[in-house]
Structure 1
Amino acid sequence: MSQRYEIRPAEDGDSAALLRLIDQTPQEGEVHLNFERAPNFFHATKVTTTDPDVWVMIDHKTETLLASFSIGKREVYVDGEKRLTRYGNDLRIHQDYRGGRTLLRLFKKYRELMQDEWMQTVILDENKASINSVGSGRLSLPTYHQAGQFRTYMVDLYKKQHKATTLLVRRASNADKAQMQSFFDKHAPSKQFYPVYDFSKIGTKDNYYRGVDIENYFLAYDDDELIGMCAVWNQKDFKQTRFVSYQGKMKALRHINNIKSKFFGGLQLPSPGSLASYLSLHTVLCADNRIDIFQDLLSCILKTYHASDYEALIFGFDTRDPLHEVAKNLKA
């Protein structure tokens, strides 16, 4: 008699079932969010990791895809050196199967696959379910070590927030790729766990750079010297954030916030079920990690996308990184 439960590598044909699983497992908190992957689950996976490694759990009695996890790899800088490192994400368990036995089965397979390797992962502060289960260290689950706290900002693009710049900031072109790569190779290693990028692959069919064009990059110069860069990335074609519902006091605070923002400016909190419309900021690098360089880059981007088709610009840093202080004077 075959086993009821099977844990196996995900296949291309699993995409529709994985999308259904995502719909059934929003991230909990005062605002329930869902990080969706339409139209194909694996498009976003291949942006997150260069070497995807997604696993699914199947209940053969009901033919249900009941859980998933991803431990794919991509190169990041660790202590200044490139290292192919696993990134743990997309741990999802259908609500009908949540409990210690399902989690134990998943992590038994995880231990078989990982052996002595370690991985990175991110857990939202308000995701108490994951903190109290996966991150608890109980039930022979993996041991988690806090490496930092990442703070994310959502900056209002409808409100005029850009300032005059002192540096020359312009968009990049294909002719800039070699200079950008040299600048990146010099400064990125100083950022712990910073993803490694190959600028020659931007604008190609390489899945890791899906949706990125070289013109999405903004470059800051001091005379002819490149001293800063960052880029905007519209990922909505393969990765979406849905505001599923509001809980507790946030039900009332959402209406108060939206009335206030109409008169004084600020982000409107979308109605339940709505998708967020935003751009993501990435590859932020400044010589000597200078705040003034990032301020000029950000001002240029805010000016470019002010009153555009997008509601917000999203970016974030480790709280120990001084660059996150630039957001303090923004409506965010």
Structure 2
Amino acid sequence: MRIRRATSQDNPAILALLENTAQPGAMTLTFERRPDYFRGAAITCEEPEVWVAESDGPSPELGAVYNVGRRRVWVNGDCVPIRYAHDLRIAPGHQGSRLLFRLFRTLKATLQEAEWMQTVILRDNGVSRNTVASGRAGLPGYYPFGTIETSVIYTRPGRFQAPAGLTVRTMTRADRGALLALLEREGPRKQFFPWLDLSELHSSPYFHGLSLGDWVGVWQGETLKGVLGSWNQSDIKQTRVSGYRGALEWLRPLHNATRPLHGGLRLPAPGECLSFVTLHTLVTENNDPQWLAPLLEHAVHAHHRDHGAVVCGFFTQDPLREAVRGFRRRTLLSDHYLVSYGEDPRPRLHPDRIPYVEVARL
């Protein structure tokens, strides 16, 4: 196998590899990136760095892919570029071979001295936790740094009404200054909150498909107290259900039959995609969940007509997680790691800063 940087010519083979490597669980899922893997990679990282392994010969076949691109995030109150390791897929015919170790050997040569990365592994993905995060010789250290709870919140019919004394509305150009002030004040207080240069909103692929109108704010009088954004990424990222296990397999028809009565996410037939909107930039004044609750309530009503769910995620120690408890939802746990070939990076991080996850960019 030859390991090299990927090019746009690899797009069809990468898409096929993603679709042939499902993630196990109660729902077996494939995370797809049609029509262009590289377009999706550009919203995950500002600087994607995609590598592939292919066989030698006149008709090379793709054996693996991974992405270790960089994005700017706040770390200890400073804006720094940090790599995010993701989309590691190994073709079924090469799983269990030495290819994994060769990939990590290439990665080690790629990283700068003392450089570390973030990565996230689904709790249900025991295969990855038992291989890449196993601590075997030749692999980097995977240092646990928090648990992420992703909530699939069911949308529901009805009209939204803001609580007394508050206004919830779509952001306009006149609100841009208030939005920037809130992000600049609250973002640096969290670990890994993304650096957002809104001057690039309509020019950078990092914001593909977004406009200022995709953010909604909650106001108390003239003061912006919190925001969240909605991002329909179905034109570049798809979550396809390959199959079901256990009770979910036989409960699916009953759930779908009663869905018109109670709302919720339609469970598609095997081979179909889930329909949801991903929430992003969930920020409130002083990280107070009271300002997030009406924004979530607005989202579950606003998106009901076209989607069965809205999706967001928090580290389990984040107080904002309290805002989702009152909604009908399904949860998914993931383990967050800091990855390094050198020393453990965790002691460098200020313990008083709560970590942030942007599930729209995972």
| 1:45 and 2:41 correspond | yes
- The answer as to 2:95 corresponding to 1:95 is no
What is the one-letter code of the residue matched to 1:205? S
Determine which of 280, 284, 298 is the counterpart of 2:278.
280
Give the drift of 1:301. 2.2
Task: Give the match for residue 296 of structure 1.
Answer: 294
Q: CA offsets, 1:189-235, max 9 Å, x none?
A: 11211111112222x12100001110001112222122211110011
C-alpha contact (below 8 Å) 1:68/1:91 kept by paired residues: yes
> CA, structure 1 residues 110+153, in 2 after alignment: closer, same or farther (shift >3 Å)?
same
TM-score normalised by structure 2 residue count: 0.86
State the partner residue of 2:172. Answer: 173
Identity %: 35
The aligned residue for residue 243 of structure 1 is: 241
In structure 1, runs of 5+ residues without a counterpart are none
- 1:73 is the counterpart of 2:79: no
Shift of 1:161: 8.8
User: Could you tell me how far 1:262 is from its partner in structure 2?
Assistant: 5.5
SS at match of 1:309: coil
After TM superposition, list the pairs within 5 Å mapping 1:109-258 onto structure 2.
109-115=106-112, 116-160=114-158, 164-166=162-164, 167-202=166-201, 204-258=202-256
Determine if contact 1:228/1:285 at 8 Å carries over to the other structure: yes
User: Which structure carries more relative contact order (alpha carbon 8 Å, separation 6+)?
Assistant: 2
The alpha-carbon deviation at position 263 of structure 1 amounts to 5.3
Judge conservation of contact 1:161–1:302 (CA < 8 Å) in 2.
Answer: no
Map 1:47-62 → 2, pairs under 5 A:
47-61=43-57
RMSD: 1.7
Q: 1:165 touches 1:299 (CA, 8 Å); kept in 2?
A: no
CA distance in 2, matches of 1:151, 1:108: 32
Distance in 1, matches of 2:303 and 2:65, equals 37
Calculate the TM-score normalised by the size of structure 1: 0.93
Q: Describe the SS at the equivalent of 1:273.
A: coil
* Cα distance, 1:58–1:219 mapped onto 2, change above 3 Å: same
The within-5 A match list for 1:311-326 is: 311-326=308-323
- Amino acid in the other structure paired with 2:28: H
Q: For each residue in 1:63-109, what CA deviation from the matched residue of structure 2 results, as whole angstroms up to 9, or x when unmatched? A: 10110111000001111211100000010000011114010110110
* Residue 32 of structure 1, aligned match among 16, 28, 32: 28
1:64 and 1:331 map into 2 onto residues whose CA distance is 44
> Aligned partners of 2:161 and 2:123: how far apart in 1?
32
Q: What stretches of structure 2 of length at least 5 have no aligned partner?
A: 330-362
What is the one-letter code of the residue matched to 2:171?
A
SS at structure 2 position matched to 1:275: coil
The answer as to whether partners of 1:21 and 1:92 remain within 8 angstroms in 2 is yes
Question: Aligned in 2, Cα 1:161/1:240: closer, same or farther, shift over 3 Å?
Answer: farther
Aligned residues: 326
Do the aligned partners of residues 63 and 173 (structure 1) sit closer, same or farther apart at CA in structure 2, a change above 3 Å counting?
A: same
CA–CA distance in structure 2, aligned partners of residues 41 and 54 of structure 1: 10
Counterparts of 2:130 and 2:17 in 1: how far apart (Å)?
A: 21
Counterpart selection for 1:331 from 322, 328, 333? 328
> 137-146 or 250-259: which moved more?
250-259
